[in-house]
Chains A and B, each alone.
Chain A
Amino acid sequence: MDSSNQNQQYYLTDAVVNDYMQLINTHYGSDVYVFDTFFYLNLCERGFDSVKRWAKKIDLFSKKKLMFPINLKSISHWVLVCADLETKELKYLDSLHGYNVNVLLKLFEYLRKIHMDRVGTPFCTNQWNLKRLDNTLVPKQSNGYDCGVFVCTFAKYLARGAKFNFAQTNMQWFRNLITYELHKHKIVPVDVDGEEIESFIRNVLNGQ
């Protein structure tokens, strides 16, 4: 068994990612909606009609942000796409600092069609910006197993409009925090920076 296989025990599955995104939807539902991880797969493999009725009870265009957690199966990797409906930006967030414009184009096409379908008017595409974020703004993963933790944490920060203040060194603590949050059915915002993150999360986990 090579080291990459040993690391797979730390990989996050769709079950964890979706449960966590559901938690975000519960807590920040008036501002954001996070799609299911199978949404993008279905959109790609079966087309727009197959996902037209997904999130049918959600008033998508009343939100500030729509987020799409995506599993890149060929490289067993999680990334997040965030459509910011206020700034009109479609952002690709990859903890390995990769970029795939085709993913953004696919989702942009979805937004265009679903806007017509739900709202009944054309989507103002010309004001939109499909964006590769400056790498200095996206915390970088330096191991082969934390991407799911990054994606969940990106979504949590984006949901409340917070700046990313964490780095790879904090991810074990965010991993523990995700377990805690899922267990307690609540989101714990981390408002401290850098070196204080560890002690902050440790206190949360210890119930202080």
Chain B
Amino acid sequence: MTEDKGEDATEYMNLKILGHDNSVTPFKIKKHALLIKCLKTYFKIIGLDRVSVIFSFDGHRIIKTDTPSSLEMKEGDVIEVFLRQIGG
């Protein structure tokens, strides 16, 4: 899930995705890269439908404009995956 455009290595950070089944998927991303791109790759890997889950960082739902930098993420931070909730 990494992209190399020759920028300073310190621009990268390591994050983790914690699946709804508690599986952990580490990934590397540039601080100013869009998180949604990595998350799309994650969908493909685990074969989940995009509409059936949401991604959350400390309770913030990740939207398409979010980057690690905009969310003030730190090395090793965890993005959580939740299955959609419904009720009547």
B61 surroundings in chain A (CB, below 8 A): 18, 36
* Binary interface encoding of chain B residues 37-75 relative to chain A, with 1 for a CB under 8 A from any of its CBs, else 0: 000000000000000001010110100000000000000
Contact at A8–B59, with CB atoms within 8 Å?
A: no
Q: Is the C-beta of A122 less than 8 angstroms from some C-beta in chain B?
A: no
Q: Is the C-beta of A157 less than 8 angstroms from some C-beta in chain B?
A: no
User: With A and B bound together, what is the CA distance between A38 and B54 in angstroms?
Assistant: 10
Q: Is the C-beta of B84 less than 8 angstroms from some C-beta in chain A?
A: yes
**Closest approach, in angstroms, between the C-beta of B85 and any C-beta of chain A?**
4
Q: Is the C-beta of A42 less than 8 angstroms from some C-beta in chain B?
A: yes
Closest to B80 in A: A42
Contact at A145–B59, with CB atoms within 8 Å?
A: no
Which of A68-76, A179-187, A194-202 is the interface stretch?
A68-76
- What total of chain A residues lie within 8 Å of the partner, measured CB to CB? 34
- Chain B interface main SS type: strand
B80 surroundings in chain A (CB, below 8 A): 38, 42, 50
Contact at A36–B86, with CB atoms within 8 Å?
A: no
User: With A and B bound together, what is the CA distance between A32 and B54 in angstroms?
Assistant: 25
Contact at B86–A14, with CB atoms within 8 Å?
A: yes
- Say whether, besides A18-B61, A41-B82, A77 and B87 are in contact (CB < 8 Å): yes
A13 surroundings in chain B (CB, below 8 A): 84-86
Closest to A72 in B: B87
Contact at B58–A38, with CB atoms within 8 Å?
A: no
Please tell me which one of the listed residues B54, B59, B85, B88 contacts residue A144 in the complex, with CB atoms under 8 A apart.
Answer: B88
Contact at A7–B88, with CB atoms within 8 Å?
A: yes
- Say whether, besides A14-B54, A38-B59, A39-B59, A76 and B87 are in contact (CB < 8 Å): yes
Closest to A9 in B: B88
User: With A and B bound together, what is the CA distance between A128 and B58 in angstroms?
Assistant: 28
* Binary interface encoding of chain A residues 126-151 relative to chain B, with 1 for a CB under 8 A from any of its CBs, else 0: 00000000000000000011111000
Q: Is the C-beta of A37 less than 8 angstroms from some C-beta in chain B?
A: yes
Residues of B within 8 A of A (CB): 54, 56, 58-59, 61, 80, 82, 84-88
